[in-house]
Amino acid sequence: MARLLTISYVGNCMDFLTFIYIGILAGMTLPLTYNKNEDKIKRFMDWLREKYKRFYEIIDEKAIKKIKNRILNENEKEKKIE
């Protein structure tokens, strides 16, 4: 669904020939650029992966704590009712 939305947005911004031209240009330059700067790109990707892992761990911990707190609160409420 997101792909169709993206294609629709890009289609509204430019003509089909322009889109093809940009695709061909990127297809010819990106591999050359990657080969030239492979070490820098790999280091950046490793750094980005570590940042993503830390962010995911923080969010995951917060979510798990909220779920545990809700379960404990529900259990306490049930004990009070009995």
CA separation (Å) from 52 to 30, 45, 47? 24, 10, 9
Domain ranges of the chain: 1-36, 38-82
**Which amino acid type is present at position 8?**
S
Q: How confident is the model at residue 11 (pLDDT cuts 50, 70, 90)?
A: confident
Q: What is the mean pLDDT of the chain?
A: 86
Average pLDDT over residues 29-52: 95
Token pair for 24: 């061909």
Average pLDDT over residues 16-34: 92
CA 6 distance to own-chain centroid: 15
Predicted pLDDT at 78: 64
Average pLDDT over residues 51-79: 80
Q: How many residues does the chain have?
A: 82
Return the higher-pLDDT residue of 19 and 48: 48
